């Protein structure tokens, strides 16, 4: 078994992976009220999700978060693969933020108080892109 561990990516992978894994484990034991609230928010941004019952949606979301978090924490998953998974996951959340007008101030990208919890996912998208691109030392051209 090969270990794909880049020392420079360890802090961001541990912090982000632990946060997402914990979120997934917490959602796995979520209440029907939590399922309905998250399903309502997500299905407003992605109408195709309306066909999925709220409790099933919550379980699928929890599973997706747990897999994403575990991949980030696993040293046998390369930075590029973990970054791709994180970028897809956080990209969906950022898109949901963008598609939900009540989460943003009118005519602006800046969040309303209700949107702050979702708007922070842009940081995960940046971390995912950073992992996906890989970290190479850049030498001056001169």
pLDDT digits (tens, 9 = 90+) for 109-142: 899 998 898 888 899 999 999 999 876 544 555 5
Average pLDDT of the segment spanning 40-53: 95
Q: 129: closest CA among 72, 91, 74, 73?
A: 91
The one-character DSSP state at 111 is: B
Between 117 and 23, the higher pLDDT residue: 23
- Does 116 map to a domain? yes
Q: What is the mean pLDDT of the chain?
A: 90
Q: Provide the domain count of the chain.
A: 1
Residue 136's pLDDT is 55
What phi and psi, each to the nearest 5 degrees, are found at residue 8?
-70, -25
- Cβ contact 132:90 at 8 Å: no
- Does 5 map to a domain? no
- Does 1 map to a domain? no
Q: 45: closest CA among 102, 129, 110?
A: 102
- Does 72 map to a domain? yes
- Does 141 map to a domain? no
- pLDDT at residue 4 is higher than 80: no
- Does 96 map to a domain? yes
- pLDDT at residue 5 is higher than 50: yes
Residue 138's pLDDT is 46
> What is the rounded CA–CA span in Å between residue 32 and residue 83?
32
Range of the domain at 99: 10-133
- Does 140 map to a domain? no
Residue 142's pLDDT is 52
Average pLDDT of the segment spanning 85-106: 92
Residue 6's pLDDT is 79
Residue 33's pLDDT is 96
- Does 110 map to a domain? yes
pTM for the predicted model, two decimal places: 0.85
């Amino acid at each position: 078994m090969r270990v794909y561990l880049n020392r420079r990516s360890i802090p961001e992978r541990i912090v982000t992976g632990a946060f997402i894994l914990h979120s997934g484990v917490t959602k796995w034991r979520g209440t029907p009220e939590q399922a309905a609230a998250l399903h309502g928010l997500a299905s407003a941004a992605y109408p195709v999700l309306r066909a999925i019952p709220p409790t099933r949606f919550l379980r699928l979301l929890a599973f997706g978060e747990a897999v994403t978090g575990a991949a980030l924490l696993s040293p046998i998953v390369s930075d590029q693969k973990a970054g791709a998974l994180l970028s897809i996951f956080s990209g969906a959340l950022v898109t949901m933020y963008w598609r939900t007008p009540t989460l943003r101030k009118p005519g602006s990208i800046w969040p309303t108080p209700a949107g702050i919890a979702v708007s922070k996912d842009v940081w995960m998208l940046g971390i995912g892109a950073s992992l996906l691109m890989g970290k190479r030392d850049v030498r001056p051209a001169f």
